Chain A
Amino acid sequence: MSYPQTNSTVVVDMPRLIRQARQARATCVQLAHDGRVGHVGSALSCVDAIVALYGGWLNVNESNRGADDRDRFILSKGHACTALYAVLAQRGFIPAQWLADYACYGKPLSDHPCKHALELLEMSSGSLGYGLGVAAGMLYGLSLRSVYPRAVVLMSDGECNEGSVWEAAMFAAAKRLGNLVALVDYNGIQAVGRSDEIMGHTSIEQKFRAFGWAARTINGNDMPEVVDALWSLPLEPDKPSAIVLKTLKGAGVSFMQDKTLWHYRVPSDEDLQNALDELGEVPWHLARRACA
């Protein structure tokens, strides 16, 4: 079987991606503040990966929505949804004004992504340990119809505590799903502790290797490294690929970085202003409103 390769003719505009990541971070902090919902640290750590994926790597666009052979992106760490919403708005998949209603009752952008609210999602998420197993099922099901798109699952390091992740990892390797990619946002902090301590100081990369995957670790907050890693997938033919993204919780906002507090804390008015000043960007929906 042959898997699609990333279109090498796509020219990655690196300065633009770096700017978009900064803008998306501003949007994340604004949404957490306005929606009175935490998890901003978890969103900030994985922004770069999502921006890079939608910056030309994923074969998804308005015209192939619903097509069997579109690539699938699944945010398995659903609590980081503001990062996904920020990028979907930047890329025009959702209207900018929807961001203003984040976490409001009955609106499309719910706290923890819900497919019933936002149809373009591949699946709902929020409870950890689901994305990898469901994505593996999607790819296996499509392979029965000789369709081989790629699926990328963005997971958290804490999520790798879940046994279901390793059940899925075993299945994906056994079925030789070379078109499956796990991105693990290894920001080192889970809900109430350091993930290394909870995992007994063991390597996520080595765990995936032991399960029959190809794996590597990169700096997940360095856009050129992220782009280089994504564009050189798959790591090995006929093996699922795991990229461990070494990141910082709260990356990009100095006072949130590497702090467990920012897993849950909702930014105050002052926190918001300080973060936006530091990022030097206006949240996406507010910038659009200013233009209008």
Chain B
Amino acid sequence: MKLAFIQALTRLAREDNRIVLLTGDLGFGVFDEFAREFGPRYVNVGVAEAQLIMAAAGMASVGMRPVTYSIASFATCRCFEQLKLAVAYAQLPVIVVGAGGGYAYSSSGVTHHAGEDISLLCALPGMTVVAPGDPQEAASLLPQMHSAGRCGYFRIGRGKEPACRSIIEPVLGKARLMQHGRGVAVLSTGEIASEVQAALDELRRRGVVPSWYQYHTIKPLDCQTLDAIAQRVQTIVVVEEHLAHGGLAAQVSNHFASRPSHPALIALNTGDGFVLGSPHKDEFRRNAGLCAASIAEAVMGIWKEPQAAHRAGSTASA
């Protein structure tokens, strides 16, 4: 996704000479070509995340369109007040890119985890928050964020995220229908999409076909689609690499709390704990119940009734 991001940014920077890429001394090798092509429009501010954001805010206030880059944890938590005051309060069009959002750097330890990035950034007034699921989605959404001309957070992966199949193109601010289904809807955000896809492939083999929406845009939340989903399913399963507080599931719950009736909700996330032990990504997902098998199991657990009805029907017709 990093590669897709920098390729998309390079295309944008060729069209719009206001774009400046600022890095907090990260992205080894990824920005070489950008730096060669755009010279002073590539700035390494050093290991200085406060300055990363303040410099970007200053540039935006004189008409430039800065994009800041760091590892998601440093890009958000480390400089949160700068994001609040220099960017959000000032209403400046800065795009903050957090690489390896969630637990993409799971094996690097808690210091490199960003299980609260979505929650923090969604809390800031006027901030658009986007977590693409695969490289193609990242490449499509970055120019849309740029065109929107507002401040935004763009959570990308660490690299080598598998491509996901989809029915429609991603549109900023709209949930993306990835698979038609019935009875149950799975909602995901960020690069966990590939695990959801693997889970749904397995479920399909067992005759279980829930619908699947990728909520790449968490803020503003596409509540219209949520209400439409609520009309059609009994249960919603939300899958995200994020803590329980303030993530996609929390925001979906928050929306449904104002409705007289709504589907049951099952949240698959990292709860309220640090991920200790520096697990590799696959180990982390298995332990946290976020691997394809766990997602499939969660859906199977609530699929009982439609499945039973289906079996009853099959038996009767046999």
Contact = CB atoms under 8 A, between A and B. Distances in A.
Interface residues of B, number: 27
Contact of B62 (A124, A129, A142, A167): A142
B61 interface: yes
A170 B58 contact: no
Interface in A158-186: 163-164, 167-168, 170-171, 174
Contacts of A140: 43, 55, 58-59
Contacts of B30: none
A123 B85 CA distance: 10
A142 B61 CA distance: 10
Contacts of A139: 58
B54 A134 contact: yes
Contacts of B62: 68, 138, 141-142
A136 interface: yes
A212 interface: no
B158 interface: no
B86 interface: yes
Contacts of B55: 133-134, 136-137, 140, 168, 171
B16 interface: no
Nearest to B50: A164
B280 to A, nearest CB: 34
A115 interface: yes
**Interface size bucket, A side?**
20 to 34
A130 B64 contact: no
Contacts of B82: 130, 133, 164
B301 interface: no
A167 B48 contact: yes
Contacts of B27: none
Given A130-B54, A134-B54, A137-B55, A170 B46 contact: yes
A77 to B, nearest CB: 15
A144 interface: yes
A59 to B, nearest CB: 15
Name B's interface SS: helix
B20 A144 contact: yes
A137 B53 CA distance: 9
A122 B61 contact: yes
A134 B48 contact: no
B209 interface: no
B86 A141 contact: no
Contact of A171 (B45, B66, B89): B45
A203 interface: no
Given A124-B85, A164-B82, A170-B48, A133 B64 contact: no
B20 A133 contact: no
B58 A136 contact: yes
Interface in B72-119: 81-82, 85-86, 89-90
Contacts of A141: 20, 58-64, 66
Most chain A CB inside 10 Å of its own CB: which residue of B20, B81, B89: B89
A135 interface: yes
A127 B88 CA distance: 14
Interface in A112-151: 115, 122-124, 127, 129-130, 133-145
12 contacts: A124-B90, A129-B50, A130-B82, A130-B85, A130-B86, A133-B51, A136-B58, A138-B61, A141-B63, A142-B62, A144-B40, A164-B54
Interface of A: 68, 115, 122-124, 127, 129-130, 133-145, 163-164, 167-168, 170-171, 174
Given A134-B55, A167-B46, A167-B48, 7 more contacts: A127-B81, A137-B56, A138-B61, A141-B62, A141-B63, A144-B64, A167-B51
